[in-house]
Homo-oligomer: A and B are copies of this chain.
Amino acid sequence: MTDGTLSEVPCTVLGAGGFIGSHLCQALVAAGANVRGFGRRPVFPDSMPRINFTYGEFNDRTALARAVDGAEVVFHLLGGTTPEVSNNDPAADVQSSTLASIHLFELCRSSGVRKLVFASSGGTVYGIPSVVPITEDARTDPISAYGINKLSVEKFAQLYDHLGGAKAVSLRIANPFGPFQSPSRRQGLIPAATMALLADAPFEVWGDGSVVRDYVYVTDVAEALMSAATYDGQFGIFNIGSGVGRSIVDVVSTLGELLGRKPKLRFKASRRADVPKNILDIQRASDALAWSPRTEWVDGLKQSLEWVQAFELRQR
Residues in A lying within 8 Å of B, measured CB to CB? 87, 90-91, 94-95, 98-99, 102-103, 137, 139-145, 148, 151-152, 155-156, 158-159, 162-163, 272
Smallest CB-CB A-B distances: 9 pairs: A148-B155, A91-B102, A90-B102, A152-B152, A143-B162, A91-B99, A94-B99, A94-B98, A163-B272
Chain B residue nearest to A93 in the complex (CB): B102
> What's the number of copies of this chain in the assembled complex?
2
Residue from the list B91, B159, B163, B272 in contact with A148, Cβ < 8 A: B159
Question: How far is B98's CA from A56's CA once the two chains are assembled, in angstroms?
Answer: 27
* CB neighbours of A137 from chain B (8 A): 139
Chain B residue nearest to A143 in the complex (CB): B162
* CB neighbours of A272 from chain B (8 A): 162-163
Question: How far is B236's CA from A139's CA once the two chains are assembled, in angstroms?
Answer: 13
7 A-B contacts (beta carbon < 8 Å): A91-B99, A94-B102, A98-B152, A140-B140, A145-B156, A148-B155, A151-B151
Given contacts A94-B94, A137-B139, A152-B148, contact A159 B87 (CB under 8 A): yes
Given contacts A94-B98, A163-B87, A272-B163, contact A158 B145 (CB under 8 A): no
* CB neighbours of A159 from chain B (8 A): 87, 90, 142-145, 148
How many Å from the CB of A210 to the closest CB on chain B? Answer: 20
How many Å from the CB of A296 to the closest CB on chain B? Answer: 34
Chain B residue nearest to A145 in the complex (CB): B159
* CB neighbours of A152 from chain B (8 A): 98, 148, 151-152
* CB neighbours of A148 from chain B (8 A): 152, 155-156, 159
Question: How far is B103's CA from A148's CA once the two chains are assembled, in angstroms?
Answer: 16
* CB neighbours of A155 from chain B (8 A): 140-142, 148, 151
